[in-house]
Amino acid sequence: MAEAAGLYYEIYGPPDGAPLLLSPGLGGSALYWNPNLAALAARYRVILYDHRGTGRSDRAVPADMTIDTMAQDVIALLDAIGIERVHFIGHALGGMIGLALAVRAPERLSKLVVVNGWAKLDPFTELCFDTRLALLRDSGPEAYVRAQPIFLYPAHWASACFEELEAEMAHQLASFPPVEVVERRIAALRAYDPGPDLHRIDLPVLVITTSDDLLVPWQAGRALAQALPNATRCQQFGGGHAASRVEPEEFHARVLPWLADEAWDDEEEGE
């Protein structure tokens, strides 16, 4: 087990590869990226980590935790393992962390990929958060965990992979963080409002959205891309909120060429 600055982390890929840090979404576990690890680590020195308060990291989080404090955690981790600059891929909350890092310490980032993120919280996403919190508070962690696939995955994929999801849900329940940690993480997401700070981000950003995301409408990603000075937006046809897991090959086909400055088809789809 590797730990630095209170965060559990793992490193894969060639030692001389360009560093690439992967930040998961609300669940906070590095295990989210398992379907993508082999493809990304074939080219890059991949750093995985569990967010503070989740997984194998320190479970203590400040009462006033914000997306900016989560970005500070990333800086502390990079300092501790001696990495100056990284490419960064963040899913949902992880993407918000990447944006906050791009504002606070742009010199630490080379390129940023935001998957199913937003510039302004959509009211439908707010409703989803209300529903998930009600499940957690009124029915407990098991109901919360068992409802997650409804928000994350397309029905056809969840049905075909149900045994895998059952095993995943059992693992998530066994390592579920304290209720107040989940509440504080959702509160941090709700409070995140970068506003004009987005216009200060001049590094290359790839904003990926999915047309069938049941948690974050794809229009929220479009608005984010429009607010960024140097963004390339690319919409996938499908894959749900967890598209990098559901359609990993399509995800890699879009992300890897962009990171490497290779030719790719950036035509927007599905609108």
* Predicted confidence (pLDDT) per residue in 75-84, tens digit: 999 999 999 9
Residue 231 has pLDDT above 50, yes or no: yes
Asked whether residue 269 is domain-assigned, the answer is no
pLDDT tens profile 2-61: 999 999 999 999 999 999 999 999 999 999 999 999 999 999 999 999 999 999 999 999
Distance CA 155, CA 30 (A): 24
Asked whether residue 101 is domain-assigned, the answer is yes
Instruction: State how many domains the chain has.
Output: 1
pLDDT tens profile 123-165: 999 999 999 999 999 999 999 999 999 999 999 999 999 999 9
Using DSSP bridges, classify how beta strands 19-23 and 45-49 pair: parallel, antiparallel or unpaired: parallel
17: left (phi over 0), alpha (psi -120 to 50) or beta: beta
Asked whether residue 154 is domain-assigned, the answer is yes
pLDDT tens profile 161-180: 999 999 999 999 999 999 99
Residue 73: enclosing H or E segment and its boundaries?
Answer: helix 67-81
Residue 271 has pLDDT above 50, yes or no: no
Asked whether residue 264 is domain-assigned, the answer is no
Residue 86 has pLDDT above 50, yes or no: yes
> pLDDT higher for 72 or 262?
72
As a whole-number percent, the residues of the chain with pLDDT over 90 amount to: 94
Asked whether residue 170 is domain-assigned, the answer is yes
Instruction: Summarize the confidence of residues 91-99 as an average pLDDT.
Output: 98
Distance CA 74, CA 104 (A): 11
CATH number, domain at 81? Answer: 3.40.50.1820
Asked whether residue 120 is domain-assigned, the answer is yes
For residue 85, give both structure tokens. 């600059």
Q: What is the pTM of this model?
A: 0.95
Range of the domain at 210: 2-259
For residue 113, give both structure tokens. 């990929």
Asked whether residue 27 is domain-assigned, the answer is yes
Asked whether residue 160 is domain-assigned, the answer is yes
Q: Where are the beta strands (DSSP E) in the chain?
A: 2-4, 7-12, 19-23, 45-49, 86-91, 109-115, 205-210, 231-236
Residue 183 has pLDDT above 50, yes or no: yes
